[in-house]
Chain A
Amino acid sequence: MTVAPDEPRAPTRPAAPTAGTGLRDALHAEWTKLRTAPGTFWLVFAVVALTVAVSSAAAAAARCPATGCGQDPTKVSLTGIYLGQVAVAMVAVLAMSSEYSSGMIRTTLAAMPHRITVLAAKAALLTGLMLAAGALAVLGSLLAGRLILPGHGFTVAHGFAALSLADGPVLRAAAGSVLYLALIALLSLGAATAVRDSAVAIGLVLGLLYLFPIVAGVISDPHLQRHLQQIAPMTAGLEIQATTGLRSLPISPWAGLGVLAAWAGAALLAGGLLLRLRDA
């Protein structure tokens, strides 16, 4: 008799944990998809490799002939972020849009009808993945800068100490660059969720990143130029790398990263809303 009341309860028991661990299941499912997609490994590898390679090349090309050469060694050794972010954007765009191009999204949403959970799981995984890859890329770049730059005039005699994470501004630049890459991933994920097609999404993201500074470069009005630099996701976001001449920056380092975070948040919000409202 005691068994009988348990009988009808049995089917509800699996249901209750499902609601509670929805995010954990979603994370597991999304991680499996991300891990097994053919391009992910190579793209994450490319994030690290491109960043370190371009940073090393920039460090090798930089020269500081005398004191007051106006160079920022931290910024020079993190130049590779400009290219590395492209691979980050691709990972994030493909994480969403490849589901649309293969039709997988219908299976995903049938299995997990709570669509925002799917997006949140993808966002969380991409953030974690990019924080890890970004940390590797940034540390590799700074190490390359530390080894290469003193040979090119960035010496104590010219007023530059060797790059070290124990130095407050350098640590801020390094940590900020890692966060920057993670925010670029979120911005790209939001854009890809909103427009669904991978080509359009990547075009949109790269346009957003590169066009602002190009347009700002041809505007001669200094006020308007400054405003454009303050709202541009890449220009404002990468001010986090500056360690010298902080007063002349169009926007302070952390505020600049905040601007990028706002762009990423807006993209995720737009993507999330469209994902909820639209048919898959």
Chain B
Amino acid sequence: MTTTTAAPDRAATRAERGGFSDLLHAEWTKFRTVRGWVTGMAVAALVTVLIGLLSAAGSHTSCNGRPCHFFYPVGPGGEAVTDSFYFVHRPLAGNGSITARMTSLTGLLPTASGGRVRAGQGPRSGMHPGLEPWSKAGIIIKESTRQGSAYAAMMVTGGHGVRMQYDYTQDAAGLPGAVTTASPRWLRLTRAGDTVTGYDSADGRHWTLVGTATLPGLSSTVQAGLFATSPAYSVTTAQGLLGMSGTGGPTLATGVLDRVSLRGGRPAAAWSGTAIGGGPTAASPVQGGGYHLAGGTFTVTGSGDIAPDTPGGAGPGQTLDRTLAGAFAGLIAVVVVGTMFITAEYRRGLIRTTFAASPRRGRVLAAKAIVIGSVTFAAALVAAVVAVPLSSRVLRDNGNYLYPVTPLTEVRLVAGTAAVLAVAAVLALAIGALLRRSAVAVTVVIVAIVLPYFISVTNLLPAGADQWLMRLVPAAALSIQQTIPNYPQVSNVCSVGSGCYPLVPWAGFAVLCAWAAAALGLAVFLVRRRDA
């Protein structure tokens, strides 16, 4: 008895499995035999490449009519960095430590009326006292005085308390609060091999571990000492269609440190002061930096930053996602095709034949989603694989500086963009099945994806509102194109126009997937209940 009941079951499952691959085959046949849809996909791929090329060709950077020679230091992790500060240092051979007590951090900001520090007026005219939140001064152990070399530093900041930062991207919090003569901050860095450990203390006796930095391949002789630096100040004064205008300028920070002690091998006994990145070609030149030593008390003044370089900051660099600006045009074409893949069946009455041939309607929708998703992914992948190298070459030939990215990030940019288009096509299919009217469905999907991006890029809404918008709507998925991460230790205006999204890449993509899944689920539910 058991064998006779088992046999039909197995046959049935085999038939079902065959059924689904038949369904996929049927849907694929439908897709490839409609000339308009195939053309639509080709158009999507083509406009993605062409608009990327057009925007690359239209972006020139030149310095007084000649091509610029940018020098951007690159950090140990391969990212572009800013490395400009005033460094009071001496060599440290082998293992050892540096300890100092910091009693004051003050600074100068440009005047609020947009008074940039002009060359002819002397470095400090038109400035008033004040600190940037990420103005910093403290102690540092650095591979060398070369820009972009590995380092670990303990510092007091203008608005974020004591921090330990290393290798540009890493940041850990220590004691909170501001530093005063009454409540000084003791800082210590200990080097053992490739490891540098940071401690802080309020009294110089009870030390707390702040962080441990591993700096691979650190030389046996490094530079240890004191530093001060302060990032450029900027404030948005007006925003409107296509861009914001802001005002700002370089700032200065001055740290006062005493009880400086250096333990370990000391090949040379004298302190020397170096303005790191202080040349005339630097993006944020050190203005009026220097140091003063009197009775064991160091007063160090510097300007610049030790941090990852991010778009929208001082540099004129472009991000790699610019090369895929055409993906929006491709997206619109893909949404039209994705919607028509189901609405055309309703319009022509083919849907009745389809459902008569395979009565399990949920599976029909699943097969359609798989076909349109795969086709879109393939077309968009080809477009992105062509567009990114081609447009970045044109951008570089036009004298632009492109922020370096890791190969993994580049793969994420290319494959992620293709995936966004594929999921958008599935979303369009689902909305098409829900609404059954092409025009309404296409409009809904385009409004959900392109309009919020447009609103963010053109700053139609205040900054807070458009950041929330870009967290909730399907357009959040475009964060997969962000190539330079958001660093909390860099105060920067994070705007979608400069390639900075409020959500991390995969979280943003998950928002779109959630919308698509919900729409598809609802579509399956309704298509099952409704008459075709």
Which A residues lie at the B interface, using CB under 8 A?
Answer: 39, 58, 61-63, 68-72, 75, 79, 82-83, 86, 89-90, 93-94, 97, 101, 197-203, 206-207, 210-211, 213-221, 224-225, 229, 235, 238
Contacts and interface: CB of A to CB of B under 8 A. Distances in A.
A215 B330 CA distance: 13
Contact of A217 (B447, B458, B462): B458
B442 A214 contact: no
Contacts of B58: 219-221, 224-225
Contact of B332 (A90, A203, A218): A203
Contacts of A75: 240
Contacts of A216: 242
B400 A220 contact: yes
A213 B241 contact: yes
Nearest to B457: A217
Contacts of A207: 329, 332-333
A203 B240 contact: no
Contacts of A90: 439-440, 443
A245 to B, nearest CB: 8
A202 B442 contact: yes
Name the prevailing secondary structure of the A interface residues: helix
A16 B240 CA distance: 58
Given A207-B333, A214-B453, A215-B55, 6 more contacts: A61-B464, A75-B240, A90-B440, A200-B36, A216-B242, A220-B400
A124 B55 CA distance: 38
B70 to A, nearest CB: 14
B434 to A, nearest CB: 15
A30 to B, nearest CB: 18
B242 A199 contact: no
Given A198-B439, A218-B55, A221-B60, A203 B446 contact: yes
Nearest to B428: A199
Contacts of B241: 213, 235, 238
Nearest to B338: A199
Which 8 residue pairs spanning A and B have beta carbons closest together?
A70-B238, A199-B438, A198-B439, A203-B336, A220-B59, A219-B58, A224-B58, A218-B325
Contact of A79 (B55, B59, B243, B460): B460
B339 A82 contact: no
A206 B450 contact: yes
Nearest to B237: A70
B455 interface: yes
Nearest to B339: A199
Interface in B335-349: 335-336, 339-340, 343, 347
B322 interface: yes
Contacts of A62: 462
Given A94-B439, A219-B59, A83 B242 contact: no
27 contacts: A72-B240, A79-B460, A82-B454, A86-B443, A97-B439, A101-B347, A197-B36, A197-B438, A198-B437, A199-B340, A200-B36, A203-B442, A206-B450, A207-B332, A210-B451, A214-B450, A214-B453, A214-B454, A215-B54, A215-B326, A217-B243, A218-B55, A218-B322, A220-B58, A224-B58, A229-B242, A235-B241
Interface residues on B, range: 35 or more
Contact of A199 (B439, B455, B462): B439
B273 interface: no
Interface in B280-328: 318, 322, 325-326, 328
A210 B51 CA distance: 14
A189 B403 CA distance: 44
Interface in B450-497: 450-451, 453-455, 457-458, 460-462, 464-465, 497
B476 to A, nearest CB: 16
Contacts of A229: 242
Interface of B: 36, 40, 51, 54-55, 58-61, 237-243, 245, 318, 322, 325-326, 328-329, 332-333, 335-336, 339-340, 343, 347, 400, 437-443, 446-447, 450-451, 453-455, 457-458, 460-462, 464-465, 497
Contacts of A235: 241-242
A220 B499 CA distance: 14
Q: Which residue among A39, A79, A97, A210 has the maximum number of chain B CB atoms within 10 Å of its CB? A: A210
Contacts of A214: 325, 328, 450, 453-454, 457
Contacts of B336: 199-200, 202-203
Contacts of A70: 237-240, 245
Contacts of B40: 200
Nearest to A198: B439
A83 B446 CA distance: 11
A203 B335 contact: yes
A198 B438 CA distance: 6
B433 to A, nearest CB: 14
Nearest to B52: A218
Contact of A213 (B36, B51, B239, B454): B454
Contacts of B325: 214-215, 218
A201 to B, nearest CB: 7
A52 to B, nearest CB: 16
Contact of A202 (B59, B326, B439, B458): B439
Q: B58, B322, B325, B447: which has the most chain A beta carbons within 10 Å?
A: B58
A207 B449 CA distance: 12
A94 B460 CA distance: 29
A58 B61 CA distance: 35
Contacts of B237: 68, 70
A225 B242 contact: yes
Nearest to A102: B347
Contacts of B238: 69-71
- Most central of B340, B442, B447 by chain A CB within 10 Å: B442
A84 to B, nearest CB: 11
Contacts of A101: 347, 438
A203 B400 CA distance: 33
- Give the interface centre of A39, A82, A199, A225 by most chain B CB atoms within 10 Å: A199
B379 to A, nearest CB: 16
Nearest to B441: A199
